[in-house]
Amino acid sequence: MSINKTPQGGTVLFRWFNQYSGILLKTPSKMLVFDPVDIKAKTLQNIDAVLISHEHYDHLDPFIVTEIQKENNCLVIADWASTRKLQNSIPKNKLIMTNQGDTHRIGEVTVKVEKANHHAGSPVTYAVTSEDKVKVYHTADSLPFPEMEKMASEKFDVVFCTVGVAPGSTPETGVEIARLLQPYIAVPYHANTQSQKDFATLLKKRLPKTACLIPEQNKIYQVAKRKDV
């Protein structure tokens, strides 16, 4: 399940491993895993940090997170509500409670914590910048929100867009996320196959300059830094 290859310069590798927002992201020096549920903890090796967006069952499994942390001795970065569920099983020096507006450094990788538009205790989303400035935005299962339009100035290379299997999310709301953020590549996830296809059709009509990458579960993808920056 881990990614054993090393990405080429100016690229990152990712793997989508469940129907929700479970993403394994590899930069040249670090391996991050987002919202690991429906996965065997021991299959995730060489993890540097686990990032949790919120406490719902399809994003946080405390047992799995605890096992990953124990196996890898890695950091766990989590929102307030998720931290409360993890604080008795993760060593204090390895558990970081985060809030919107925080920035974390994992070696030379930067993680900026952003707002989430989702009904949960204290949900967040994560904007990651790799060592060589590839920018990836993990939206968890957030719906669009107005501040995303200002975030477009970040010129994201990859944005994971929620398109289903979450309250209120549809291919249309996923395309709205892409419209606001204007990424180089939009990846529909938190979805079933049909909603991914519907997203791709809408995206082509409304945002022809944004590429669509429809991921297959557990397949490894390499994505490159956009050309216009």
What digits encode the pLDDT tens for the residues 132-173? 999 999 999 999 999 999 999 999 999 999 999 888 999 999
Please indicate, yes or no, if residue 145 is contained in any of the structural domains. Answer: yes
Close Cβ partners of 165 (under 8 Å, ≥ 6 residues apart) = 19, 20, 58, 141, 190, 191, 192, 195
Please indicate, yes or no, if residue 75 is contained in any of the structural domains. Answer: yes
Strands of the chain, DSSP E:
11-16, 23-26, 31-34, 49-52, 75-78, 95-97, 103-106, 109-114, 125-129, 135-138, 158-162, 185-189, 211-212, 220-224
Please indicate, yes or no, if residue 19 is contained in any of the structural domains. Answer: yes
pLDDT in tens, 167-224: 899 999 999 999 999 999 999 999 999 999 999 999 999 999 999 999 999 999 999 9
Quote the number of domains for the chain: 1
Tally Cβ neighbours within 10 Å of residue 120.
19
pTM of the full structure = 0.96
Close Cβ partners of 63 (under 8 Å, ≥ 6 residues apart) = none
Which pLDDT belongs to residue 227?
A: 75
DSSP, collapsed to helix, strand or coil, labels residue 174 as: helix
CATH of the domain at 210: 3.60.15.10
Please indicate, yes or no, if residue 226 is contained in any of the structural domains. Answer: no
Please indicate, yes or no, if residue 1 is contained in any of the structural domains. Answer: no
Q: Which domain holds residue 84?
A: 11-215
Please indicate, yes or no, if residue 69 is contained in any of the structural domains. Answer: yes
